[in-house]
Amino acid sequence: MPILVMKFGGTSVADLTRIRAAAAKVRAEVARGHDVIVIVSAMAGRTNELVGWVNETSPMYDAREYDAVVSSGENVTAGLMALTLQEMDVPARSWQGWQVPIRTTSAHGAARIEGIDRAAIDAKFTEGFRVAVIAGFQGLSPEGRITTLGRGGSDTTAVAFAAAFEAIRCDIYTDVDGIYTTDPRISARARKLERISFEEMLELASLGAKVLQTRSVELAMRYKVRLRVLSSFEDTDETSGTLVCDEDEIMESKVVSGVAHSRDEAKLTLVTVEDRPGIAAAIFGPLAEAGVNVDMIVQNISEEAQGQDPREVTDMTFSCPTDQVARAQKALEAARDRGEIKYDKLEVDTEVSKVSVVGIGMRSHAGVAARMFAALAADGVNIKVIATSEIKISVLIDRKYMELAVQALHDAFDLDKAG
């Protein structure tokens, strides 16, 4: 029988009533003739409670023990989901990560899935079981310890199972009913997309649209797993939600598919940096080691190179999340103290946001940047930094203009209209 993977996040299994509602969706797919692999998260709030206990016990915790503790929430949901399905006369069995096993690296707290053994689950399907319920977010290290995949890891579990079992689709049930052209809380004209390509979803995920974990989309793209994002809290059918798929499957011809934003960004500028080969490595090496997620990088001729040869000095600007600014400052000052880099001063602006337009159509259409900048200029929004990729243009702007910019761009690219 064709295998379907269905994943339910924490809010979708927050209590026994919601677990029953989720199980009813599974039963409906079984009735449609699928064998189903269900991936469950911990009941909402449970993992936070466990993480809180670990942090209170041991602020510099041993990640092996952290994983042993925090993985228990998913195990509870998996058993309860199997029992709920059995109660609905659907033959179901639960598996914890070590039972399958889901083999991972030893990187506790952020392990990567290396393989999934199909044998035990295939055998149960052959026996007549119709549903395999899998505890998400966890696996087994080569040393036989429980690992976890990092926050949101259940999405990755779901995609990995869909790939291993050659599932017809991987349905991600969550608290929103699909992927939107932009955040509906910012623009009332946001429109739900029927389909979106893996590449666009990846840009949107990494740009702050928090529906899907970036790694799960990467994995889906690599193994061509069709992902569907849909609501746990509404009646759904085969046409519900948004399908994330290969671009070959996309009929819509929009140049731009969506407008993303990331509110809490900071802009840091090293003024009059000594310019020499290797200077970028000398700056960004220490930042990476300090765990700073540098996003946009721009190098300018220094405006303040008074009396100095402008060929010998430069300004280096980069952005990172605001909560990493202190770490970044410390790392840069340490590098200066060690004599690895020289600069006159470090300017920090923590009042900026990032707004991006994303679309695979950009590859073949010119003029997207010009249209974007014109729309922002028409509303008086000053652009501080620009960065582009093949299917994305991002700008850093003053935070107070963020909502305005998102709305202006959504209108400029006619995203409220389908097709």
> Judged by CB under 8 A, does residue 121 bind its own copies?
no
CB nearer to its own copies: give 9 or 97: 97
* Residues contacting its own copies: total by CB under 8 A: 36
> Judged by CB under 8 A, does residue 80 bind its own copies?
yes
CB nearer to its own copies: give 80 or 266: 80
Query: Using CA atoms, how far apart are residues 110 and 161, in angstroms rounded to an integer?
Result: 18
| β strands within 227-257, DSSP E | 227-231, 242-245
Q: Is the dihedral of CA 188, 190, 192, 198 positive or negative?
A: negative
Query: Using CA atoms, how far apart are residues 186 and 7, in angstroms rounded to an integer?
Result: 28
Q: How far is the CB of 15 from its own copies (least distance, A)?
A: 9
Question: How far from each other are the two terminal CA atoms of the chain, in whole angstroms?
Answer: 35
Residue 105 labelled as part of a binding site: no
DSSP symbols for 71-121:
THHHHHHHHHHHHHHHHTT--EEEE-TTTTTEEE-S-TTS--EEEE--HHH
Q: How far is the CB of 142 from its own copies (least distance, A)?
A: 14
> Judged by CB under 8 A, does residue 123 bind its own copies?
no
> Judged by CB under 8 A, does residue 68 bind its own copies?
yes
> Judged by CB under 8 A, does residue 118 bind its own copies?
no
Cis upstream peptide for 91 (omega within 30°): no
> Judged by CB under 8 A, does residue 377 bind its own copies?
no
> Judged by CB under 8 A, does residue 132 bind its own copies?
no
> Judged by CB under 8 A, does residue 57 bind its own copies?
yes
Segment interacting with its own copies, rule: CB under 8 A, options 4-12, 60-68, 273-281, 295-303: 60-68
CB nearer to its own copies: give 98 or 180: 98
Long-range contacts made by residues 204-208, C-beta under 8 angstroms, separation at least 24?
Answer: 204/179, 204/258, 204/260, 204/358, 207/260, 207/261, 207/262, 207/354, 207/356, 207/358, 207/392, 207/394, 208/260, 208/261, 208/262, 208/263, 208/354
Segment interacting with its own copies, rule: CB under 8 A, options 73-81, 294-302, 342-350, 401-409: 73-81
> Judged by CB under 8 A, does residue 79 bind its own copies?
yes
Of residues 184-223, those binding its own copies (CB under 8 A):
none
> Judged by CB under 8 A, does residue 65 bind its own copies?
yes
The token pair that represents 39 in the structure block = 């991936």
Residue 8 labelled as part of a binding site: yes
Segment interacting with its own copies, rule: CB under 8 A, options 89-97, 171-179, 285-293, 325-333: 89-97
The token pair that represents 321 in the structure block = 């999340």
Nearest Cα to 138, choosing from 151, 128, 147? Answer: 147
Sheet strand arrangement including 392-398: 297-301, 313-321, 258-274, 345-358, 392-398, 383-389
> Judged by CB under 8 A, does residue 99 bind its own copies?
yes
Q: How many CA atoms lie within 13 A of 36 on its CB side?
A: 28
Exactly one of 9, 25, 47, 66 binds its own copies (CB under 8 A); that residue is: 66
The token pair that represents 252 in the structure block = 């819509």
Q: Are 137 and 104 in contact (CB under 8 A)?
A: no
Per-residue interface string for the shown chain with its own copies, residues 144-163, x marking contact by CB under 8 A: xxx-----------------
Residue 124 labelled as part of a binding site: no
> Judged by CB under 8 A, does residue 312 bind its own copies?
no
Residue 226 labelled as part of a binding site: no
Exactly one of 11, 21, 28, 61 binds its own copies (CB under 8 A); that residue is: 61
Amino acid occupying residue 54: V
H-type alpha helices, 224-320: 279-289
CB nearer to its own copies: give 82 or 368: 82
Segment interacting with its own copies, rule: CB under 8 A, options 47-55, 183-191, 200-208, 246-254: 47-55
Backbone Cα Rg of the chain: 24
Q: How far is the CB of 140 from its own copies (least distance, A)?
A: 10
Of residues 219-278, those binding its own copies (CB under 8 A):
none
Query: Using CA atoms, how far apart are residues 283 and 340, in angstroms rounded to an integer?
Result: 8
Residue 33 labelled as part of a binding site: no
Exactly one of 21, 28, 44, 50 binds its own copies (CB under 8 A); that residue is: 50
Residue 60's contacts (CB-CB under 8 Å, 6 or more residues apart) are: none
**Per the annotation, where are the binding residues?**
7-10, 47, 74, 174-175, 180, 185, 210-211
**Binding site, annotated residues for substrate:** 47, 74
- List, as residue ranges, the binding site for ATP: 7-10, 174-175, 180, 185, 210-211
Enumerate binding residues for its own copies (CB under 8 A). 16, 19, 50, 53-54, 56-58, 61-62, 64-66, 68-69, 72-73, 75-76, 78-80, 82-84, 86-87, 93-94, 96, 98-99, 120, 144-146
